[in-house]
A and B are shown apart, each in its own frame.
Chain A
Amino acid sequence: MFNNFFHKMASPKYFYRISGRLIPWLAIAFVLVTLAGLYYGLVKAPPDYQQGDSYRIMFIHVPAAWMSMFVYVVMATAGAIGLIWRIKLAEVVAISSASIGAWFTFLALVTGSIWGKPMWGTWWVWDARLTSELILLFLYLGVIALYNAIDDKRTAARAVAILALVGVINIPIIHYSVEWWNTLHQGPTVTKLDKPSIHLSMLIPLLLMAVSFKLYYAFVVLMRARCEVLERERHTGWVRELAETK
């Protein structure tokens, strides 16, 4: 029965139907959690004793940076599953994650830069954290470019999975960069073994926004994956039927 479930889930047609039902609920949950996060982050949380109100950029910047790494790991894992078990749906999830991951990385870099200007006095430094995050953006762009350069989608997915897996090495480098090369970017305050060194009034909105970004990724990756499924299955009967009834 268990096997049967996975087999069914991995069928593109079934996936298309189920994901279509899931997306609105995830989107609603995303909106609710985001509103709560923004309320606690922009209204309830007090200004920082050193950074004033500028630190509120954190509620976007840190979740975006977390997502940039999380999505990369999802992409590489899905890629590996596609590579080993030849599951089409895993390939679809991997490539659909790439563009969203790139956008999260872009957002982390840009908001970091905007935060850096008033706090550090500069938009950009070649600090280890910033540089390794920039490399992450290039990895994502490399994955997208490679996928688009190969016509056969299944061959493309295999090539992309290998590139994504090699790039995983960058993830621990990003995470530990602030400890290994301690220059300008601050160290972790939440993701460490010790107790988080951040006040609860700021931790709550931060975690709410982290959940919000996860929910956002969940429904947007499904939206993209559905397009990819349509594209790949365009010559099958069910997709034609679907297209003609729309």
Chain B
Amino acid sequence: MSLNEFFNMGGYAFYVWTSYGIALLVLLINVILPLRQRKKLLGDIARAARRARRDTT
């Protein structure tokens, strides 16, 4: 099988690669979202804790 044949997917290239592309996108989104959320949360919590300490002293 040549590389061209492989990418051509027997004429179904559009359907096959669109499906795999969307799958990749969905899998990536679900890893990136919690990573970003965790970073933001930790930042927010640290800021709130600093503020609380400043206010009491």
Contacts and interface: CB of A to CB of B under 8 A. Distances in A.
A107 B22 contact: yes
Given A56-B9, A220-B31, A111 B46 contact: no
Given A47-B10, A53-B9, A223-B35, A103 B15 contact: no
Interface residues of A, number: 37
Contacts of A115: 15, 19
B49 A240 contact: yes
Interface in B1-22: 1, 6, 9-12, 15-16, 18-20, 22
- Interface size class of chain B, counting residues whose CB lies under 8 Å from the partner chain: 20 to 34
Nearest to A54: B12
Query: Which 4 residue pairs across A and B have the least CB separation, nearest first?
Result: A53-B10, A243-B45, A223-B34, A243-B46
Interface of B: 1, 6, 9-12, 15-16, 18-20, 22-23, 26-27, 29-31, 34-35, 37-38, 41-46, 48-50
Interface of A: 42-43, 47, 52-54, 56-57, 60-61, 64, 99-100, 103, 106-107, 110-111, 114-115, 117-118, 216, 220, 223-224, 226-227, 230-231, 234, 239-240, 242-244, 246
